[in-house]
Amino acid sequence: MAKLTPDATRTEHGLVINEKIIPWGAVWPKDSGAYKKGAQYKADRLLSGGTGKVKGVTIHNTNDLKNVEEDAEQYTRATWPNANMNDARVHYYVDDINAWQNLREDEVGWHAGDGRKATGGNETTLSIEIIMDGSGSKEDLKAEENGVLLAALSGRFPWIETALWPFMITVKTVPVASFVVICLIWLSAQNLSVFISFLIVLPVVYGNMLEGIKSENKKMLEVGRVFGMPFLKRVLYIHMPQLKPFILSACMTSLGMSWKAGVAAEIIGTPDGSIGKQLYYAKIYLDTDDLLCWTVIIVIISVAFEKLFMLLLRRFYRRLERA
């Protein structure tokens, strides 16, 4: 029997992933028990209520096939186009050699025993079937290793988002003054304003970049991998153009915030030669003229720095578009 031909192939961290995606609108090619020829073949719906967001990874073990070298290819063939797997629909089959992708990562499968439950595995998670016989052989261990790698690759952003969520919420809700006082225990006054500025704008930049990465065109990324584009070129010519509006928005919002947070840290830490220290003295001596003058200076520097930074950033994108 001729080997199944993948629609596309990519390699991630040494794992070869062959794509044979079941198309939307596919129908049963034949009568098969309760399933009749012409009936809808799969859900044709996006995960998590239509958002396409992956909330986890579901891993199952599937029996190794006797006298078959590439089990993942055989299971894929049985699923599509042969339609011999009843109603099972998984995102990935993986064995000790490679992996085969049957569903897009953002679409609903049929692999968990929870039916159409909105918060269940079918409706919210990616599915990975690791093919092994349970003997503990080197083939089993390699299949498990490939399955774990595939799970990490498939669920990379939800895991990062979940891990960083408590930290980002803390940074956004704790007052700047509290951070300044706490950080003075470990940092010198001279370095305090830079650290506080970074800390305050981090959630803004993180939030914008996360949304940008989630909204990227996955097909463009796959094209880059298929044609063997080096990682740096994929970043410059695929990721950066798609992230442009999110990067610009993050910078426009965070640059002004960084100046305000930095000056607030200087007022409390009073490092020598800083604007914040001059504002502190103006407050102590009720010197309204100095207070207003230094405030105007801060506004001018902040606006000038923002304009210059945004000009350079837009110029970088223009050069990138011409390259």
Residues 121 and 223 in one domain: no
Residues 99 and 177 in one domain: no
Residues 115 and 36 in one domain: yes
Residues 93 and 184 in one domain: no
Domain holding 112, by residue range, is 8-154
The token pair that represents 2 in the structure block: 């001729």
pTM: 0.55
Nearest to 15 by CA among 131, 146, 125, 140: 146
Domain assignment of residue 3, yes or no: no
Domain assignment of residue 79, yes or no: yes
Residues 150 and 162 in one domain: no
Q: Determine the Cα–Cα distance for residues 6 and 76; give it in Å rounded to an integer.
A: 10
- Give the pLDDT score at 21: 93
Q: In what order do the strands lie in the sheet with 15-19?
A: 8-12, 15-19, 99-101, 92-94, 125-132, 56-63
Residue 131 near residue 121, CB atoms below 8 Å: no
Domain assignment of residue 26, yes or no: yes
- Give the pLDDT score at 136: 81
- Whole-angstrom Cα Rg for the chain: 27
Residues 25 and 172 in one domain: no
Residues 184 and 149 in one domain: no
Residues 126 and 45 in one domain: yes
CATH label of the domain that carries residue 66: 3.40.80.10
CA neighbours within 13 Å on the CB side: how many for 281?
Answer: 12
Domain assignment of residue 2, yes or no: no
Q: Determine the Cα–Cα distance for residues 101 and 287; give it in Å rounded to an integer.
A: 70
> Could you check whether the bond before residue 81 is cis, i.e. omega within 30 degrees of 0?
yes
Mean pLDDT of the chain: 85
Domain assignment of residue 221, yes or no: yes
Among 125, 154, 183, identify where a domain stops. Answer: 154
Among 133, 154, 175, identify where a domain stops. Answer: 154
Domain count, the chain: 2
Domain assignment of residue 247, yes or no: yes
Domain assignment of residue 1, yes or no: no
Among 128, 154, 180, identify where a domain stops. Answer: 154
Residues 170 and 225 in one domain: yes
Burial 29-59 (b: 16+ CB within 10 A, else e): eeebeebeeeeebbbeeebbeeebebbebbb
pLDDT in tens, 237-274: 888 888 899 999 989 888 888 888 889 898 888 888 88
Residues 300 and 239 in one domain: yes
pLDDT in tens, 184-212: 888 888 888 889 999 889 888 888 888 88
Residues 135 and 221 in one domain: no
Residues 214 and 89 in one domain: no
Domain assignment of residue 315, yes or no: yes
- Give the pLDDT score at 40: 87
Where would I find the H helices in the chain? 47-50, 71-79, 121-124, 138-154, 156-173, 176-183, 189-214, 218-226, 231-234, 240-269, 275-284, 288-322
Q: Determine the Cα–Cα distance for residues 284 and 62; give it in Å rounded to an integer.
A: 74
Q: Which residues of the chain have pLDDT under 70?
A: 1-2, 152, 154-162, 218-219, 222, 225-226, 323
Concatenated DSSP letters of 152-210: HHHTHHHHHHHHHHHHHHHHHHS-HHHHHHHHTTTS-HHHHHHHHHHHHHHHHHHHHHH
- Give the pLDDT score at 72: 92
The token pair that represents 222 in the structure block: 């796959």
